[in-house]
Every structure is written in structure tokens, then in C-alpha cells.
Amino acid sequence: MFKKILIANRGEIALRVICACRELGIKTVAVYSEADEHSLHVRFADEDVCIGPPRSLDSYLNVPAIISAAEITGADAIHPGYGFLSESAYLAEVCEACHIRFIGPDATVIRLMGDKSRARRAMKKAGVPVLPGSDGPVEADEQAAKVARELGFPIIVKAVAGGGGRGMRIVRAPADLSRALKTAQREAQAAFGVGDVYLEKYVESPRHIEVQVLGDHHGAVVHLGERECSIQRRHQKLLEEAPSVALTDKMRRRLGATVVDAARAVQYTNAGTFEFLLDQSGHFSFLEANTRLQVEHPVTEMVTGVDIVKEQIRIAAGERLSFKQGDVTFTGHAIECRINAECPETFTPSPGVIHVFSVGGGPGVRVDTFAHSEAVVSPYYDSLIAKIITHGRDRQEAIARMRRTLEMTVIEGVKTSIPLHLKILSDPDFIAGRLNTHFMERFLTERKDSSSLAEAV
């Protein structure tokens, strides 16, 4: 087992990794930017190294600085958390060259999944249902027009280097294809440095469901069930839950088995998430695979009892998965609210000093946060300040626990999304589990009590 792990991240996820390390008896190294000197992840790590100025490019994305910090402190592994360098095949390769273990899949798998068109082909080959689409990138108008004719409109143009919804264009009529192709290519080039795009049949109003997997270096792969992630705005998830009310036990077993086979086919190791769209007739289609720990992993931990971060560390150290698929059970229901420091109506960030921070507790409540009274929410980084996760015997109990927890939470100094979360939790469609990826658009436009809201969609 590792003796010392460097955490190449900040905020709540850096603390989450420190929790796992402490339970495993592993020493920790925090890296931090000049903006995070007084952060809890620095205070609770055994050692810390300043890696640069506040801007992410100069600090949390600075590979040489992070590798130097690992070498100076003698860390034998790096946990990248989520965001920042978590899906950098380059960091994984540099780690290998420097004999530092990267806690994540191999660089080759990260690179495969990072190319959404290649990932699609690999999944199709492994027997995973994918949407009808182009076999690879499309370049010229004529080629795109031919593929589009075969698929039938509407179609969606996606960046091969994309993910998270950037560089996408929906096309509803042949006349709009050429423009959409050019715009998507230009956007993709600007955002990712790679202009390639591919085409897919567009699915109207699907649910977004993802499956958590773990694979060790001895060929064992298990799935930990699904998460329902349809409640998002502009590709930022606001609330996630496990399990999804849209799946029967039989569907869960089938989807899980499909994902396990696919993960095996690409020799997937460590933790990963396979994203799917579930269409209105109940068909699943693979979207993309995320080769990192995800923000919403706690809902899976709550219903399975598996500590995903500890498993990641054990797997990276070469240990075997300590349980088999048959040992995985799903108990009750879990919901996560991502509490952001932002205006609940306009969604503009609300950085500042948190003067009061008190989260409701009691049965079935978990809080993952870096916040405390006097904590700073920096304008340099994302606005997530806390994840509140509730568990209940069933969905209704999990919802009731979330509502009373949010009602008994006091955060002063910054605005938070809590009022918005409370409104979602009392929405009849949400309560009935009638969700799809357009839930928030509909929710925000129908709140006609304030005319400014329509602009925030």
C-alpha cells in the first residue's frame, strides 16, 4: 500500500480524498494555490506545498509544479480528484515516467475515452448500444449531408474532444447542417484545440443516467448501479439521485452487465462512469465514459455502502477488489444537492467570505464540504461549496430528509442555491419522478413569478 498520497485538487474533493487516506493510514500532501493558503484541505493534510498563483492554469493545472511537489515530499501516488487534471492522459503518462502512481485508469484508456467518437466505436464493438451516427469525424459538407440523410433529422453535431455539453449543435433541417458543422468545428477548435466533430441521431427529452464501475488490475470489474442525473442546467448538475425511478431491477442488472462487459473489453481499471441517455420508450444509448471520480459519487456510496475513494486507492496500489458483483446490494435511496455560492435566481457566482455555516444534521445526512465559518469562496474556482446528501429507506424519505436539512441550514456571507433546491424538491414532477434533461428549462420558464428567470435558462 502507498505510504503517502499527493492530492492534486482543492475544495471538498481534496478533503474527501484526505478522509479516505486517513482511514487507510496513508499520509497526505496537499497542494494549493496562493488563493487557498488558509483552506481546510491544507490544514488537514500532513504536508502542503504551494504550487503557484490563484489562476488554475498556473497552479492546479500546472503538471511540472505538481510533479515537483510529489518528488520533493516523496509521495508515491497522486489522486487527481475531479475536474482540473483528473482526465489528463498526459499527467497519467508523466506520473508513470516519474514512478509515481496515478490513481485512475491507464493513460491509454483515458485517451480512448477522451475521444468521444473513438469511445463510441469501442463501445459499439463491445456490444453496448450506441445511437446511430457517423463512424468517425465528419469533415466536408457532402459527407455530413450523406450521413445526416441516412440518420434522419434531427441530428446532433458533437466535438470528438468535447464532453460536458461543450461544442454541440442540434440540427433539425438539412438547410441548417452546413452552418452548424462549421460553427461546431470552430467552437471545438477554440475550446479544445481539436476541431473534429461527429454526428449522432438526436434524442428528444431523454433522461441522463450513468453507471458507476470499478475495475482492478487482476481483471475483476463490478458495477455499483446507476445515478439519475437529469436535473441539470447548462450541463451543470444540480441534484442527483440513486437509484433512478426509471429502472426496474431487471433493467439495472442488464445495464450493469453490459457496462461491466464493455469495461472489461477496454481493460478498464480504477473508477469510471458510463453515461447513457434513456429515451422515452425505455431504450438506453451510450453517450460517453468519464475516467474520473465524479462529484456525485456519494449517492452511490450511500446506497451500496462502498467507499469508492478507498477502493480507488486500493486498486491503484495493485490490490484485488475486496468484493464481487454478487456482494453488491442496493439499500434505500440517496439524493445529493450541489450547494453553489451563486444567486438562486440569476445563477451569477457569489464569491466572498462565509460568515455563518451551519448545516442541518440528524439521521441519514452526509455533508461533503470545505466550508466553515470564515471560509473563503474564491472567484477563481467553481462555486460548489457543499454537497448535502441524504439517505432514506425510500425516495420519499430521502426527499423529506433533504427538505428538512436544507430548511435547517444557515449559510451567511454568500448567496446559495438552497432556495432553488427547495423549490425543486417541492415540484410535483420531481416528487413523482417525472424527470428528463429539460426539467430545469421547463421549471425555470414556468416560474412566471419573476420575468428575469426566463433569461437564466
Q: Are 277 and 208 in contact (CB under 8 A)?
A: yes
The least distance separating ligand MV4 from the CB of residue 212, rounded to whole angstroms, comes to 16
Instruction: Indicate which residue of 111, 292, 314, 401 is catalytic.
Output: 292
Quote the least distance from Cβ 177 to ligand MV4, whole Å: 15
Residue 287 binds ligand MV4, judged by CB under 6 A: yes
Among 79, 111, 208, 391, binds ligand MV4 (CB under 6 A): 208
CA distances from 143 to 167, 189, 249, 313, 440 (A): 19, 20, 42, 46, 35
The verdict on 14 binding ligand MV4 (CB under 6 A) reads no
Question: Amino acid letter at 130?
Answer: V
- Compute the distance between CA of residue 400 and CA of residue 386 in angstroms, rounded to an integer: 19
Q: Which three cell numbers stand for residue 91?
A: 499527467
- Tell me whether residue 402 is exposed, middle or buried, using C-beta atoms within 10 angstroms of its C-beta: 0 to 12, 13 to 18, 19 or more: buried
**164-195: buried (b, 16+ CB within 10 Å) or exposed (e) per residue?**
eeebbbebeeeeebeebbeebbebbbeebebb
200 makes contact with ligand MV4 (CB under 6 A): yes
Tell me if 17 contacts ligand MV4 by CB under 6 A: no
202 lines the binding site for ligand MV4 (CB under 6 A):
yes
* 276 binds ligand MV4 per the rule CB under 6 A: no
Tell me how long the chain is. Answer: 457
**Closer residue to ligand MV4 (CB): 109 or 131:** 131
- Contacting ligand MV4 within 110-149 (CB under 6 A): 131
Is residue 196 within the footprint of ligand MV4 (CB under 6 A)?
A: no
- Give the residue with the Cβ less far from ligand MV4, 89 or 231: 231
Find the part of the chain contacting ligand MV4 (CB under 6 A) among 56-64, 73-81, 195-203, 210-218. Answer: 195-203
Q: Which three three-digit cell numbers place residue 79?
A: 489522486
Contacts 24+ apart (CB under 8 A), 142-149: 144/177, 144/178, 144/181, 144/199, 145/174, 145/177, 145/178, 147/199, 148/174, 148/177, 148/199, 149/174
CB of 188 to ligand MV4, least distance (A): 13
Q: How many residues bind ligand MV4 (CB under 6 A)?
A: 16
197 contacts ligand MV4 (rule: CB under 6 A): no
Contacting range for ligand MV4; rule: CB under 6 A; set: 23-31, 97-105, 198-206, 318-326: 198-206
**According to the binding rule CB under 6 A, does residue 437 interact with ligand MV4?**
yes
Kindly write down the DSSP assignment for every residue of 407-422, as one continuous string. HT-EEESS--SHHHHH
Distance of CA 301 to the CA centre of its chain: 14
Phi, psi angle pair for 337, to nearest 5°: -110, 130
If the CB atoms of residues 115 and 311 are measured against ligand MV4, the closer one turns out to be 115
Instruction: Tell the smallest beta-carbon distance from residue 1 to ligand MV4 (Å).
Output: 35
Is the separation of the CB atoms in 370 and 385 below 8 Å? yes
Is there a catalytic annotation at residue 172? no
Whole-number minimum distance, CB 148 to ligand MV4, in Å? 13
Conformation bin of residue 301: beta by default, left when phi > 0, alpha when psi is -120 to 50: alpha
Binding mask 149-168 for ligand MV4 (x = CB under 6 A): -------x------x-x---
Q: Is 203 in the site for ligand MV4 (CB under 6 A)?
A: yes
Please give the residue ranges that form the binding site for ligand MV4 (CB under 6 A).
131, 156, 163, 165, 200-203, 208, 232, 235, 275, 277, 287-288, 437
Q: Which residues are the active-site residues?
A: 292
